[in-house]
Copies of this chain bind each other. A is one copy, B any other.
Amino acid sequence: MDKHEITDEGGSPEIVLQVKDGLLDDRSAASMSELFKALGDPTRIKIIHALLQHELNVHDLTVVLGMGQSAVSHQLRYLRNLRIVKRRKEGKTVYYSLDDNHIEQLFVLTLQHLEHD
């Protein structure tokens, strides 16, 4: 017995069952949404856009973004955990750059889409 009492009785049961059967499993849906969620924030979008143009250290990112160092650092950790961004240490400064071609693809594709529209 289903919690929501969801049973089939619609007009095209075959198609419904077919779609239901071929639907993304929870893990895939989670992976996918996790990836998109990373791009679902203006600050992270700006960070990615900046790094798309040039590798930058944390301080320079705060200058570029006009934000506090802590906020930038938190977001960089977030992006690094998802392997969207990578670090390179040089003395006491840490340089960040993009680490995922797929993300760059998504980003550029969407940027183009929003531009000519």
Contacts and interface: CB of A to CB of B under 8 A. Distances in A.
A83 to B, nearest CB: 11
Nearest to A16: B60
A109 interface: yes
Copies in the complex: 2
Interface residues of A, number: 59
A89 to B, nearest CB: 14
Main secondary structure of the interface of A (DSSP, over half): helix
A57 to B, nearest CB: 7
A10 B46 contact: no
Given A16-B60, A110-B106, A32 B4 contact: no
B63 A7 contact: yes
